[in-house]
Amino acid sequence: MSVIAVRELSRHYRVRISGERSGPRRLLRPRLSTVPAVQDVSFAVDAGEIVGFVGPNGAGKTTVLKCLSGVLHPTSGAIDVLGFTPHQRQRDFLKRITLVMGQRNQLLWDLPAWDSFLANQAIYSIGAAEFRATTDELTELLSLGSVLHKPVRQLSLGERARCELAAAMLHRPAVLFLDEPTLGLDFDAQDAVRSFVRDYVRRHAATVLLTSHYLDDITSLASRVLIIGSGRIAYDGALGDLVGFEHEERVLTVQMETAEPVTVPGVDSLRQDGTTVVIRASRAEASAVAAHILNHYPVRDISIAGPPLDDVLRKKITKAARA
């Protein structure tokens, strides 16, 4: 059963064209043009799925997430989230979703995060027992501890990001729209956010739509990806299928006994660093390349693998950007 259903969603922005008129005419009757940010986007997400939503800058990801969370009204098309029409912003809808943006700013700067949590408790009418249980759970999952009681301005970026995430989750949403949740964080903080999302989904069977330019977020959390390019969906399917589909390339990593330079006839993509040789070859050529090296050079170890998932995804995103 779909928790999110989007049918032929389009969202345009009206923007002022600068420089075409001058003086009072420019202010009174500005010339406007239409930017089609998202066009005819359709997809559905089932309960408990984590779907990665990726694409180049300006492809329309944030616009779709804002439409799904009711911040923006679609220009045309239909959206259903948990049986609600998001732009109607019904209270029961808002209590079951969250939108987390990379540039977060819901915590009050001069106060401890705990005070903002209390404000959210009132906004979402969370009962005392539920608030205690949820804050205990979030404190454990996000390792918040003493951080909650220091003024937010004294926190590191990573500590602040974890508090912001917790603040956005106090009402235990069933659907999470996460827009660049690890933006600007160091590796440890990125890991903390990822394992939080994984655990939260497991505990609460939540549904997640996640955008990120850090492809590690996508490959470590999502089993399915939506790729958007120039406002249109370019791919919707399992991550595994994407790899299988594009997976024509093989990467041979060879550990040589000596640092003697290696050459393979007909192969351009060969990098050698001392005794380590890395060769990219087509799937059809890979075994012949391996045989050539084994026959002509002293080899300590050889492995053949597909390209890293990140590479496959990156290529697909670049292709979507050009389409």
Ligand X SMILES: Nc1ncnc2c1ncn2[C@@H]1O[C@H](COP(=O)(O)OP(=O)(O)OP(=O)(O)O)[C@@H](O)[C@H]1O
CB of 218 closer than 8 Å to CB of 54: yes
Among 39, 63, 98, 212, binds ligand X (CB under 6 A): 63
Q: Does 141 bind ligand X (CB under 6 A)?
A: no
Beta carbon of residue 99, minimum distance to ligand X (angstroms, whole number): 13
Q: Which is nearer to ligand X, 152 or 227 (CB)?
A: 227
Task: Using DSSP, state whether 152 is helix, strand or coil.
Answer: helix
How many residues bind ligand X (CB under 6 A)? The answer is: 12
Hey, what's the torsion of the CAs at 312, 313, 316, 320, to 10 degrees? -170
**Cα–Cα distance for residue pair 258/168, rounded to 1 Å:** 56
> Least Å distance between CB 211 and ligand X?
7
Q: Which is nearer to ligand X, 53 or 131 (CB)?
A: 53
In angstroms, give the least distance from the CB of 96 to ligand X. 23
Least distance in Å: CB of 102 to ligand X? Answer: 8
Up-side HSE of residue 268: CA atoms within 13 Å toward CB? 0
Taking the least distance from each CB to ligand X, the nearer of 61 and 316 is 61
Considering beta carbons, is residue 72 or 174 the nearer one to ligand X?
A: 72
- Interface positions, 175-234, toward ligand X (CB under 6 A): none
For tokens 């005070």, name the residue: 115
**Of the two residues 63 and 190, which places its CB atom closer to ligand X in the complex?**
63
**Bridge pairing between strands 76-81 and 50-54:** unpaired
Q: Which is nearer to ligand X, 105 or 255 (CB)?
A: 105
CB of 271 to ligand X, least distance (A): 31
Give least dist CB 221 to ligand X, A. Answer: 18
* CA 254 to chain CA centroid, nearest Å: 34
**Cα separations in angstroms, 254 against 130, 233, 275, 301:** 56, 39, 8, 6
Q: Please, what's the b/e burial string for 277-307 (b: 16 or more CB within 10 A of its CB; e: otherwise)?
A: bebbbeeebbeebbebbeeebebeeeebebb
Whose Cβ is closer to ligand X: residue 15's or residue 17's? 15
Contacts (CB under 6 A) with ligand X, residues 33-62: 35, 37, 55, 57-62
Q: How many residues does the chain have?
A: 323
| CB-facing half-sphere around the CA of 79: CA atoms within 13 A | 25
Query: Footprint of ligand X on residues 2-21 (CB under 6 A)?
Result: 13, 15
Per CB under 6 A, residues contacting ligand X are 13, 15, 35, 37, 55, 57-63
